[in-house]
Amino acid sequence: MLGVLDTSPFRIAIVYSVVFALGAVALLGAVDYAVSRVVDGSTDNLIEAEVQGLREQVLVLSRGDFIELIEQRSQEQDVRGAVYLMVDPQMRPVAGNVPAWPTIDASEGKWINFKVAVPYGDETRVHEIRAQRFPLPGGYRMLVGHDVQERQDVKHLVMRGLIAAVVMTLLLGLGGGFWMGRRILAQAGAISAAATEIVRGDLSRRLPVRAADDEINRLAREINNMLDKIEQLTLGMRTVLDSAAHDLRTPLNRLQSTAEGAMHELQPGTSGRRVLESVSVEVDRMRATLDALLRIALAETGTVAREPVDLSELVESVVDLYGPVAEERGIGFASAVSTGIGVRGSRQLLAQALANLLDNALKFTQPGGRIRVELRAAGTGSEVTVEDDGPGIPVDKRELVLGRRVRLDEARNVPGSGLGLSLVAAVAKLHGARLILDDAQPGLKVTLKFQGES
Amino acid sequence: MASSLAVDLAIVDRMLPKLDGLSLVQSLRATGRKVPVLILSALGEVDDRITGLRAGGDDYLTKPYHVAELLARVDALARRGESGNAETRTKLKLADLELDRMTRRVTRAGKKIELTAREFQLLEFLMRHSGQVVTRTMLLEGVWDYHFDPQTNVIDVHISRLRQAIDKGFDKPLLHTVRGAGYSLREDE
């Protein structure tokens, strides 16, 4: 599931939602700033005009009339509108709708903001007031202001909306990205699963294609066309192999039968019989080489059944088949086979690959030497090792011997077609296994590393 | 055509002129005939073998083959018809050699013989085909389920071990080597 976070749609969605969120913050910030300026400005203008008016009134009215004027204006206004307070030199309220002179240390004539508790039905609420103060004759002082609580409320509302919008944008972006990422991941997963099957030899498999005509589906369709072509070519190859097998085996068969038939009419030991016997041996050798070549070609075209194979049982049975031969030849034979290990593939080809490895090991190990076969789990997969203490293969020739018909000079005096290891290599490739040739110091260590079942 | 003839055993080539050997076998089986069929083919891969046996063949032999191999297999198939219960009998017996498939016990002249699991399988296979020639390839197929011939003479060594176990110390050997063909488990006259 974590893989979704690594998909490109998810990353793009994250970048976009961050950019959108920043955009939303900037936009709403700008709107808030502009609105504040207009609204605050007009409130301030109202207060300044009132201050100006009262300064003029105080000059023409007696103190009693002025107090009455203040009282009158205070009552006309609800406290959430305009605010007035007149105090005597001892700071005691004389008139107005504010309960007490705010104790704010600011010079008169400057804007002040302060909070006042106001009755609101049964409860009291704290409202914010913006005001100006100015002196009156005789040591009296005057405060004129405006309740700006509503404006603050609106501001807070806008801020909350803003935060909610940003959070929503981020969440939606994340969610959308996650969804798209999963979609892509599901398709990519299906494609890579199909590709793995194809690589393992199921050439009839095709990549899954959705109806959508996006770039991934177009790509998948193109690859499928390519696979059609490859499958066609492989089938053609298979047909050629089959007919080659038939066309070569049938005459070989006739040769074999003729030789054997003629052989039985001759006394053992006569020169004619010896000639026919060597013909028969050669035909056998040709058949073995032909079989090996065809099997390699077949394994390389990857058209072999893939059934579950109990590798533990298989290695045991090969060990069991070769063990007595090694003992008979005075070669120490040891094996360590873990149980319960399986792979998918062809039992026959795997058995033959293992048999080839043991044939080789026996061929190159002297009496008194040792051979060791091991099967063990390795990571998610497993590995089979066949080790001997024969001459080994020089490092610079290891790649070479996996090719067809390579026999090193050291092996010239040993019988064999030179195809053994190439078949092992082809079988390994067909099973998605790695074939590793190592120095057993001294000797050769061949490892077949199988990947885990996916 | 094949169904109208009285046939004891059929050897069918997979690639006949103008006719597919497999469809011949299939039509033969469709008539309900239980004739043993040996399929001969130049196609020797595992998949081909499976399709051949699925079509109704009883055995499959890849070209080129030795005449001895063909004869041994024909013999085995023909006798399977007459002594068909050898496949299912729990006790197999040859001269004084007895093998019990249930208890996995082997005795010769009443004396218990210890065998490994594989030696037991090998002996069982030979006893089911007692009196016949059994080739190395047949043993590899029947006992190890390997459809290829290893380069090393692995079978010979297994046979010589089995021979040590069942024949050593007894007057009459039962396990014989048939030169140029294979082995045979039989009572020698």
DSSP A150-177: HHHHHHHHHHHHHHHHHHHHHHHHHHHH
Distance between CA atoms of residues A260 and A351, nearest Å? 31
pLDDT for residue A401 is more than 80: no
pLDDT score of A280: 82
| Same domain (yes/no): A317, A432 | yes
pLDDT score of A78: 58
User: Does the interface ipTM go beyond 0.90?
Assistant: no
Select from A256, A295, A352 the Cβ nearest to the Cβ of B64.
A256
pLDDT score of B123: 93
| Same domain (yes/no): A282, A399 | no
Cβ pair A298:B44 closer than 8 A? no
Cβ pair A348:B146 closer than 8 A? yes
Q: CA-based angle B119:B120:B122, to the nearest 5?
A: 60
Distance between CA atoms of residues B52 and B38, nearest Å? 10
Distance between CA atoms of residues B184 and B167, nearest Å? 13
Which residues 12-51 of chain B have a CB within 8 Å of chain A? 15, 42-47, 50
In a domain, A280, yes or no: yes
Structure tokens at A15: 């970048």
pLDDT score of A425: 86
Domain hosting A258: range is: 215-301
pLDDT score of A337: 93
Q: Which residues of B touch A356 (CB under 8 A)?
A: 151
Q: Which residues of B touch A256 (CB under 8 A)?
A: 64-67
Order the strands of the B10-13 sheet from edge to edge: B10-13, B37-41, B59-62
Closest C-alpha among A130, A132, A128 to residue A150: A128
pLDDT score of A311: 93
CATH topology of domain B1-64: Rossmann fold (3.40.50)
Q: Which of these three, A245, A266, A301, is where a domain ends?
A: A301
Cβ pair B67:A257 closer than 8 A? yes
| Same domain (yes/no): A14, A143 | yes
Select from B43, B46, B62 the Cβ nearest to the Cβ of A348.
B46
Q: Pairing state of beta strands A82-87 and A141-147?
A: antiparallel
Instruction: State percent of chain A over pLDDT 70.
Output: 91
Per-residue pLDDT band for A322 (boundaries 50, 70, 90) equals very high
Residue B54: C-alpha distances to residues B30, B48, B51, B58 (Å) = 13, 10, 5, 9
Q: Are A280 and A256 in contact (CB under 8 A)?
A: yes
Closest C-alpha among B171, B76, B166 to residue B130: B76
Q: Which residue has the higher pLDDT, A374 or A24?
A: A374
Q: What are phi and psi of A200, to 5 degrees?
A: -75, 0
pLDDT for residue A330 is more than 80: yes
Distance between CA atoms of residues A371 and A388, nearest Å? 4
Q: Are A375 and A393 in contact (CB under 8 A)?
A: no
Q: Which of these three, A138, A156, A174, is where a domain ends?
A: A156
Name the pTM for this structure: 0.61
Count CB neighbours of B95 within 10 A.
15
Chain centre to alpha carbon of residue B12: 18
Tell me if chain A has a CB within 8 Å of the CB of B158.
yes
Closest residue of chain B to A418, computed from CA coordinates: B151
Instruction: Give the number of domains in chain A.
Output: 3
Cβ pair B42:A249 closer than 8 A? yes
Secondary structure letter of residue A108 according to DSSP: T
Question: Which of A203-212, A233-242, A266-275, A398-407 shows the lowest per-residue confidence on average (mean pLDDT)?
Answer: A398-407
DSSP A28-40: HHHHHHHHHHHHH
Substitution target from A249, A252, A386 for chain B, most B beta carbons within 10 A: A249
Cβ pair A420:B62 closer than 8 A? no
pLDDT score of A454: 43
Tens of pLDDT, residues A2-55: 577 777 878 888 888 888 888 888 887 888 788 778 877 888 888 888 888 888
Closest residue of chain B to A288, computed from CA coordinates: B149
- Mean pLDDT across A331-344: 91
Q: Which of these three, A272, A301, A330, is where a domain ends?
A: A301
Question: Which of A66-75, A95-104, A117-126, A177-186 shows the lowest per-residue confidence on average (mean pLDDT)?
Answer: A117-126
For A244, residues 6+ apart whose C-beta sits below 8 A from its C-beta are A294
Closest C-alpha among A122, A33, A111, A127 to residue A78: A127
> How many C-alpha atoms does B116 have within 13 Å on its Cβ side?
12
pLDDT for residue A160 is more than 90: no
In a domain, A113, yes or no: yes
From B186's Cα to the closest Cα of chain A, the distance in A is 24
Q: Which residues of A touch B15 (CB under 8 A)?
A: 246
In a domain, A272, yes or no: yes
Task: Give the CA dihedral A12, A14, A19, A21, nearest 10 degrees.
Answer: 150
| Same domain (yes/no): A319, A286 | no
Question: Which of A51-65, A102-116, A248-262, B129-143 shows the lowest per-residue confidence on average (mean pLDDT)?
Answer: A102-116
Cβ pair B64:A346 closer than 8 A? no
| Same domain (yes/no): A255, A378 | no
Q: What are phi and psi of B64, to 5 degrees?
A: -85, 150
Residue ranges, chain B, pLDDT below 70: 1-5, 44-46, 81-88, 189
A28: domain CATH number? 3.30.450
Tell me if chain B has a CB within 8 Å of the CB of A150.
no
| Same domain (yes/no): A30, A144 | yes
| Same domain (yes/no): A150, A242 | no
Distance between CA atoms of residues A6 and A1, nearest Å? 10
| Same domain (yes/no): A266, A402 | no
Tens of pLDDT, residues B120-133: 999 999 998 888 88
pLDDT for residue A403 is more than 70: no
Q: Do domains B1-64 and B85-189 have the same CATH topology?
A: no
Where do the structural domains in chain B lie, given as residue ranges? 1-64, 85-189
Residue A173: C-alpha distances to residues A1, A9, A183, A206, B58 (Å) = 18, 10, 15, 34, 67
Identify the residue whose tokens are 């026999």.
A407
A314: domain CATH number? 3.30.565.10
Structure tokens at A112: 């002040």
| Same domain (yes/no): A84, A23 | yes
Cβ pair B149:A288 closer than 8 A? yes
Q: Which CATH class is domain B85-189?
A: mainly alpha
Select from A246, A317, A352 the Cβ nearest to the Cβ of B148.
A352
Tens of pLDDT, residues A418-438: 677 888 888 888 888 889 888
Q: Are A446 and A385 in contact (CB under 8 A)?
A: yes
Structure tokens at A102: 């705010």
Chain centre to alpha carbon of residue B175: 15
| Same domain (yes/no): A296, A317 | no
